[in-house]
Amino acid sequence: MGLARISSGLYNRVMFMLWRAIMLLAGFLCGDPGRSLAAEPVVLEVHTESTGGVRATATILFPVEPAIIQRLLTDYAHWPELFDTRMRMAEIREQDGTVLTDIRIEHALLPGERRLLSESRTLPSGGLLTELKGGDFDQYRRFWKLLPVDSGAHTKAEFELLVEIQTVVPDWMVAVAMRRELETHFARVREKGLALATQGK
């Protein structure tokens, strides 16, 4: 079991490094002065807000087209597969162009199960906006903006998340956990995106 986990982790790391090398080479060959593919695949910043809560912003380069990332982000029934945190979809309801999701979350920092009731809607230009409607959160807003790059073959994603949980756990501790979990989240979106792209060929 431990050997399999190490082998899987080594394989994922090698594939990540290979993809990054390809992106660097593409940037060198194309010589596009307006955009450098040598940029980091993930640029993530996480900080606490003076008014309460934790905000994360990120720019992510995905090696698949925006339609595939959009498909993953709007596959609400399978949202738990994109996160390392244990969660379950208690309800998914479409209404008036939006999707209401009732999510129950278990986290090592939080006792018991927490409820996140949110509403999501797709953006005309590509992406997804999810906003708080109720539950055990004081603030929750997640924003994805998807932009095509490389003639539409790849995706540049702009991401923002604001979270404030009803808990005695200090925001700085939530921020530390959030950074780690978002790194895993982006990696899973990338892996599943590559899998979908392979299936489509």
pLDDT, tens digit, 9 for 90 and up, residues 97-133: 899 999 999 988 777 899 999 999 999 989 999 999 9
21 pLDDT band, cuts 50/70/90, is very low
Q: Which of 14-28, 146-160, 178-192 has the lowest mean pLDDT?
A: 14-28
Tokens representing residue 156 in the block: 């540049």
Closest among 167, 168, 97 to 135, alpha carbons compared: 167
Region 73-95: what's the mean pLDDT?
A: 95
pTM assigned to the model:
0.77
Where do the domains of the chain lie? 1-34, 40-199
**In 59-160, where does DSSP find H-type helix?**
66-73
Tell me how far CA of residue 66 lies from CA of 101, 112, 128, 133, 146, in angstroms. Answer: 23, 36, 12, 27, 6
Reported CATH class of domain 40-199:
alpha beta
The DSSP bridge pattern shows strands 42-48 and 54-62 to be: antiparallel
More confident site: 38 or 143: 143
Give the Cα separation of 54 and 133 in Å (integer): 18
201 pLDDT band, cuts 50/70/90, is low
* Residue-wise burial string across 146-163, b where 16 or more C-beta atoms lie within 10 A, e elsewhere: beebbeeebbbbebebbb
How many residues appear in the chain? 201
